[in-house]
Amino acid sequence: MTSFAQVFRPELANAEDMTQFHSDEYIEFLRMITPDNQHEHMRQLKRFNVAEDCPVFDGLFNFTQIYTGGSIGGAVRLNHKLADTVINWAGGLHHAKKAEASGFCYVNDIVLAILELLKVHSRVLYIDIDIHHGDGVEEAFYTTDRVMTASFHKFGEYFPGTGHLQDVGQHQGKYYSVNVPLKDGIDGETYDHLFKPIMEKIMEVFAPDAIVFQSGADSLSGDRLGCFNLSIRGHAECLKYMSTFNVPLLVLGGGGYTIRNVARCWTYETGCLLGRELEDVLPANDYSEYFGPTNTLHITPSNMENQNTREYIDGIRNRILENLSKLPARPGAPFCQVPPDLVSAQTQDMNMEPDLSEGEDRGGIYLDYGKNEDDFCVTKNVSEPVGTNPQGKEDAEKDMNENKEKSQELPDKDDI
């Protein structure tokens, strides 16, 4: 795929970049905390929720710099029209809050990338097909009409417990948060029956100038933490459908806990975005043992029960389409001086084609031995950020807390 993709090494995100969204105190804490000194900062560990599913490990801050730099760098390339599609599979950490880690997520690269896109684009659409609700991104933009968030997720007694059908945004952002709560066992056909009509309506009424797509692979069949039943083709169909709208697209990774299937999924989706059909039989390589005994690209969904009845799905879809029909005219943004890029597109270009004499060409991605492969992003060629509203933030947090008190069961069909 070398003739269809360019690969670049983005700059590492620094603390100043991260504080465009996160609090100064939180980012400073991530910079200084290590496994050796964490016992001296027990109060801060609790305050910033860095424990249990967000542990401290060696190189934590550098890890956040790598994946965040990739997402911001991808947004900069879209802003400068250097690409129409950018992929950063290392990104997509959607649970991180302004001053709190959550669900394996420390820095919310998605929010930072969207803020970068808003410097140039009036409206940005965020789509999340991870099995977990994209709560951190939704909360960040809950009161604005310049960003629409659409999350398709498992709802009920399931982390993070947010994303009710009735959570639609507040103030200027009312109806700009779209939540699609799903039950166990949803398959590709049922998912498609929801996804395409909802996204078609969103593209019609919101008309985004750019799209950020979080392609979490824990919604695949057989995921260790998931409970959906999507095939890799069914998962990729969502991404393929959104690419048909010819809107600048930033594609990010996310969850996925059966690692061999995550690799399968994102490999296939990279091929889809580049217009390349990949053979199902995997070529022999150093990691073939991980993909046995079939050694195939695609997986077979299980025979688990699909608890999402047609009646339930139709009720969810109709309610969401009704909400979207209430949106006013497409929101715009006043003319203003564009803030400078967080990272330099010119610096990235210097690293687009590294010297292969010191590395290896693996399927169109240039890798340099001795360097972290997570530094790399893939692009497909082409011929004033939203401010934080303190009152809106308080209202959004209040709304999230109220959601936890709601019944974990969605309203009956007669109530929808």
CA pair distance 166, 355, nearest whole angstrom: 53
Among residues 321, 327, 322, 323, the alpha carbon closest in space to that of 198 is found at: 321
Instruction: Indicate if 153 belongs to the active site.
Output: no
Among residues 344, 335, 330, the alpha carbon closest in space to that of 384 is found at: 335
Q: Which of 22, 94, 95, 121 is catalytic?
A: 95
User: How far are the Cα atoms of 335, 351, 369, 371, 378 from residue 356, in angstroms, in the given order?
Assistant: 44, 12, 10, 13, 17
User: 400 is written with which tokens?
Assistant: 């999230």
Helix (H) or strand (E) holding 347: helix 345-349
311 has which bridge partners?
Answer: none
Among residues 187, 165, 149, 162, the alpha carbon closest in space to that of 405 is found at: 162
> Helix or strand or coil: residue 330?
coil
CB-based contact 226:219 (threshold 8 Å): yes
- Name residue 10's amino acid: P
The residues assigned a catalytic role are 95
